[in-house]
Structure 1
Amino acid sequence: MVEGFYLPEGDGRFLATELTRGPWSMDAQHGGPPAALLGHVLEGCAPREEFRIGRVAVEILGPVPLAQVRVAARVVRPGRSVEMLEATLESERGLVMRAVAWRFRVAEGQVEVPPAFAPNERRPGPERESSEFPTAHAVGFHKGLEYRFVSGSFTEPGPAVCWMRLRYPIVAGTTPSPWERVLVAADHGNGISSVLGWDSYVFINTDLTVQLHRMPEGEWVCLDAVTHAQPEGVGLAESALFDEKGPIGRSTQTLHLARR
């Protein structure tokens, strides 16, 4: 029985399970689970109770194999109010992903936001039928998450609004953190809002940047996603992020577009 996307093996090493398998190759991971794994180690890096992460930028340096990976994190630039963290993910192929995060001192009650400018827009909730990602893979990332579309679908080209929640923890034996839930969901922006056909094109993201102005609450994360594509082969997917109480932030992905 699968216990999570990754099984911890000690010394920063994790064994990827079949739940991490992506849509482009039987032997490569979807970008969301390893991004969430990097978030996992970033949050555990020299934690400071009065600080929280506000931004994570992930660079995808190559395909992440469906195998054992090793992750590590360090404080790059300490500070009294703001500090920078860095995390790396390596496989037998070497460095395949890297993330930089900004961590901020929480200023509870010190910032008075005029009500007219407080973000409060919402999306319809996740009370609807679940959707399945169309794939020939029996097990993959699509089995590790639940998807509920408000508009659009995996096979309908164009913008989409979709709620997602984890069915399994990112790391077996742990409870997913809000950042882990957001990172694994945010990497779906290009998949749910693609304007190109899955059978004829690839639209692979080289990066993922997530900025949160509020920590999400609950299990569900919503993406209101749109893809911008150009004939030159460079695209952009951007998503407004929500929980059931309202907006929490935004995410972007730079896309490599090409015929299969």
Structure 2
Amino acid sequence: MGDGFGTVSTTAFFIEDGDRFVPTEAAGGYWRPNTLGGRFVGGLLGLGLERAYGASDLVPARLCVDLIKMAPKAPLQVATQIIRQGRRLLLAEAQLIADGDVVARANCLYLRETENPDSPTPQSPSWRVPSPHDLLPQPDRGHWEIRPIPADRREAHDTPRRRLAGEGDAPSSAANPPVLGPLSPFEARQAWVRETRPLVEGQAHTPFTRVALAADFASPMAHSSLGSIDYVNTDFTVYMHRLPATEWLGFDMVRHHALAGVAVGECWLHDEMGPVGTINVAAVAQRQA
């Protein structure tokens, strides 16, 4: 199928060649020419970890990706190792290597499934927003399909997300171009996201690789003004109590705080069945090269 509204592209982000992953043109980064976007880095690291250690009774409860440097748009390798393995947990690490140089790393904490206590702790409610199938498609942005949740249909938060005077106003002439498209204002920023391309040619997404590939989206969600993105994230950490059961992932932007060019952000992660976990990101002010 083509790249129109609501369709899936057959062009993958990488082609697997022996023990190397060769980027295609679709995997280009935003910040600098001939580099990879952070989400493609996360996707490859997640794929390597899942191939080595994924198991049906292990929940990847935490995935932390460190974006050590901008990964080149060049053949890449993934090396993995176990840090700690016990009866109830497995902690593993992956490194993304370009020409012998480690450009990113990740660690994943797997927890073995068991049973909830007899006296369960009350669970936080799911968000109450429209299904992605009830929202209008947006133009394909090449990497994913985004369906923003309109401000008048969003869920009201118990803690209002206040904004400072002038925050979110029209960007200055020095601002970077936006990457999100027509999302809602900061105080009502929620969206459904769906992958429209395979990560690796000939291989279908798994629930874990969907999250690993999409989690970097939390940075522009949390750190974008209404008309620009002026922070580049240095990491992202995903906490999950379960893997997603649907291809649509819901991002609910909860917090952004910044001072002296250093920012942190948080999004809650959902699928069509309910809550999945949270994503936290750290970022620094950045001008596009």
TM-score, normalization by structure 1? 0.86
Larger CA deviation: 44-53 vs 220-229: 44-53
Cα 1:155/1:65, change in 2 over 3 Å: farther
Which SS does the other structure have where 1:191 is aligned?
A: helix
Match 2:123 to one of 118, 125, 128: 118
Identity in percent: 29
For 1:194-224, what per-residue CA distance to the aligned partner results, in whole angstroms no more than 9, with x for missing partners?
Answer: 344765x630000010010121111100110
Match 2:84 to one of 57, 65, 77: 77
Structure 2: distance between partners of 1:229 and 1:110 = 35
Aligned-residue offset at 1:26: 2.9
Cα 1:166/1:113, change in 2 over 3 Å: farther
Structure 2: distance between partners of 1:162 and 1:179 = 19
Cα 1:197/1:222, change in 2 over 3 Å: closer
Structure 1: distance between partners of 2:266 and 2:116 = 31
For 1:65-88, what per-residue CA distance to the aligned partner results, in whole angstroms no more than 9, with x for missing partners?
Answer: 122111121211111111100000
Which SS does the other structure have where 1:66 is aligned?
A: coil
Aligned-residue offset at 1:183: 2.2
Match in the other structure for 1:167: 196
Cα 1:215/1:194, change in 2 over 3 Å: same
Q: Does 1:237 align with 2:265?
A: yes
Match 1:206 to one of 220, 224, 234: 234
4+ residue stretches of structure 1 with deviation over 4 A?
none
Aligned-residue offset at 1:247: 0.6
Query: Which amino acid is the alignment partner of residue 131 of structure 2?
Result: G
1:1-260 aligned at under 5 Å gives the runs 3-11=11-19, 13-92=20-99, 94-107=101-114, 109-112=115-118, 114=120, 117-122=122-127, 123-127=129-133, 128-132=135-139, 142-151=141-150, 154=181, 158-159=186-187, 160-196=189-225, 202-258=230-286
Q: Which runs of 5+ in 1 are unaligned?
A: 134-141
For 1:141-178, what per-residue CA distance to the aligned partner results, in whole angstroms no more than 9, with x for missing partners?
Answer: x4131111004763665251111111111111111111
Query: Which amino acid is the alignment partner of residue 257 of structure 1?
Result: A
Q: Which runs of 5+ in 2 are unaligned?
A: 1-8, 152-179
Structure 1: distance between partners of 2:131 and 2:225 = 27
Structure 2: distance between partners of 1:254 and 1:241 = 17
Structure 1: distance between partners of 2:56 and 2:14 = 26
Structure 2: distance between partners of 1:62 and 1:73 = 19
Query: Which amino acid is the alignment partner of residue 124 of structure 1?
Result: P
Structure 2: distance between partners of 1:252 and 1:175 = 26
Cα 1:30/1:233, change in 2 over 3 Å: same
Structure with the greater alpha carbon radius of gyration: 2
Aligned-residue offset at 1:259: 5.3
